[in-house]
Amino acid sequence: MTSPVQHPLIDHHLGILRDVSTPPALFRQQVHRLASLVAVSATADLPVEETEITTPLTKMSGRKLKPRIGIVPILRAGLGMVDPMQDLLPDAEVWHLGMYRDEETSQPVEYYCKLPEGRPCDVVFILDPMLATGGSVLSAIDALKRWGCQDIRILSLIASRPGTERLEREHADVKLFVAAVDPELNENDFIVPGLGDAGDRIFNTPQ
């Protein structure tokens, strides 16, 4: 069973993120902060290799990341998590997957896929603030596996327990790193208690 990343700063910033009175500018800052905190756990076991560096005083052995890393935000809400990931992984490649949820069926509809032919990244991080039914994330995983990715990791801020259980059933090899797991979905497949629509709150486009 998926467990959220534990840290008092995550608890603090998540409370602000959830609050309906949090304005868009602060909401975006909270997304940035939480994505950074979750990313620390998601990158903790990345392989490194030895490299020689020269300090102002002498030569020494250092370490650098070994794998070719890809960042794949699910449009549009995932864009809010790209900057903190690039702050930590400035050499990572950024590829985009566009999906929206059909409001009648709650199923993901892919409208954009920008993955190159051949030579997949070694490690890919899917960015999606909300993992509700899991449909969009599962479609993204399928696209990345078709690309040939072997190590796929999901970074999310809030997931539903039904969504995490579906992920575990259908893609047990994919790791999920999330700030909180909420217990249920409502009749419209929104996470409860959740925070509403992350994309609308990030981009200030209230419905």
Residues annotated catalytic, as ranges: 101, 105, 197, 200
Nearest of 37, 50, 49, 35 to residue 122 by alpha carbon: 49
- H/E run at residue 179: strand 175-182
DSSP line for 60-83: EEEEEE-S-EEEEEEETGGGGGHH
Q: What angle, 0 to 180 degrees and rounded to 10, lies between the N-to-C axes of helices 24-42 and 8-18? A: 150
Q: Give the ranges where the chain is alpha helix by DSSP (H).
A: 8-18, 24-42, 82-88, 135-147, 161-170, 198-203
* Distance (Å, whole) CA 65 – CA 190: 37
